[in-house]
Each structure stands twice: as C-alpha cells, then as structure tokens.
Chain A
Amino acid sequence: AQTVTQSQPEMSVQEAETVTLSCTYDTSENNYYLFWYKQPPSRQMILVIRQEAYKQQNATENRFSVNFQKAAKSFSLKISDSQLGDTAMYFCAFMIPEGAQKLVFGQGTRLTINP
C-alpha cells in the first residue's frame, strides 16, 4: 500500500518570503503521479502542481515549483514570493494512473502567510 507523509503540521512565513513544504511517500510502483493541492477556507481542493514520476525535470507553475527526488521518495513544494492568498492547507497526494486513480493524501500542512 502507498503512504504519504507530511511532517510539518504548520508553517508560517512573512509575505514575499520563500517557503518549502516537505512530503515523502512510500511505494513499490514505478509509474505514478504526485500532486500538491491547496485547500483554502472554502474547503475546495485546488490543484497547485503535479509531477509525473517518469519525468526527471521538476514541474513548475509560476511561483510554485517542486523538488522531486525519486530515489529518496521525496516531493517538496517551494512557494516563491509568497502572497497572503497562499494561506491555506496544503496536501501532498500520490496516484497510480490505473483503474479508479484513487488519490492517497498526506495529513496536510497548514501554511500561514503573515503581512
């Protein structure tokens, strides 16, 4: 079974700073996807970024980038030039692209951006 671990329950940084959220996972599969989702107070899960395991290049989306270390089974999210609107819960998730494509989530990191 796959597991996803986020070891930082809470983080807090000042606006405009860079912050890195950690995520590790465990799997014996070779073909999989990793995701970071953002959950603001509205409760809606919003996809921030995704990484395909067979791609060595780290994914980037504007201010968001990942550091994907496949051998170490690590998938951290870096938020550059943080903004007040980045305040939310962030979840790391794992998925095997077969069948139901169920997402396996970590416990989440509550990120607060302070003005």
Chain B
Amino acid sequence: GAGVSQSPSNKVTEKGKDVELRCDPISGHTALYWYRQSLGQGLEFLIYFQGNSAPDKSGLPSDRFSAERTGGSVSTLTIQRTQQEDSAVYLCASSLVTFAGARPLHFGNGTRLTVT
C-alpha cells in the first residue's frame, strides 16, 4: 500500500509569510509524529498525535508553530510569520500503536522549507 505522503516536497517562502505543510499517514495508523531536521543536524521531535488524545506539543519551538490532525488522519503543520531559522526539512512519520515494545515508524520523504 501507499506509504506516508508529504506535500509539498519543497517550499520556498519569504520571511514573515505563513506556510502549511501536509502529511498523509499510512491508512489505519493512529500515531503521527512531526520531526524537524535542520541543516547538518539530526532530527528533533516537534509534536505527536495519538488517536483522539490531546497531542504532545512539547517539541514545538515557539508559538508560531502549530499542528492539527483532522479526523485522525491527515495532519497539517503550520508555521506563522516564518523566520530564516525555520529553514529545514520537516519529516512526518506514522505508526500503529502496540501495547508492548517499540513501534516501527514509517517516515515520509519530508518537506524542505526554505525561508528567504
């Protein structure tokens, strides 16, 4: 079946503009994550959704960042008033939730955001 799909693949925006990044998880996956990969860095956790539970927003770097997940499926990450330091690859991952052990994560190909 289809994997995790992210759009757009690349986005160039001007400083101060708002952007929306989209993630379509694998059908049936109740857990969804957003990670950010800045140039030359590893990935850093941003936010986690699981079913109808309140999301874990502990990784969002500022109040300019927000995310929602509609109907337990598609998720949108919104960055308001973009800054140059927001330039990064934003990766989405989804997983089935099991009650024991580590969940295998399925990553998308990411959105490369460039703020000029």
Contacts and interface: CB of A to CB of B under 8 A. Distances in A.
Given A43-B91, A43-B110, A44-B109, A105 B59 contact: no
Contacts of B59: 102
Interface in A4-48: 4, 6, 33, 35, 42-47
B107 A44 contact: yes
Q: Which interface class (under 10, 10 to 19, 20 to 34, 35 or more) fits A?
A: 20 to 34
A100 interface: yes
A45 B107 contact: yes
Interface in B25-81: 31, 33, 35, 40-45, 48, 50, 56, 59
Nearest to B103: A101
Interface residues of B, number: 27
B102 A105 contact: no
Interface of A: 4, 6, 33, 35, 42-47, 50, 52, 91, 93, 95, 97, 99-108
Given A33-B101, A45-B91, 16 more contacts: A35-B102, A43-B89, A43-B91, A43-B110, A50-B102, A52-B101, A52-B102, A91-B42, A100-B56, A101-B31, A101-B102, A101-B103, A102-B56, A103-B35, A107-B41, A108-B42
27 contacts: A6-B42, A33-B101, A33-B102, A42-B109, A43-B91, A43-B112, A44-B107, A44-B108, A44-B109, A45-B43, A45-B91, A45-B93, A45-B107, A46-B107, A47-B105, A52-B102, A100-B33, A100-B48, A100-B50, A102-B59, A103-B35, A103-B45, A104-B45, A105-B42, A105-B43, A108-B40, A108-B41
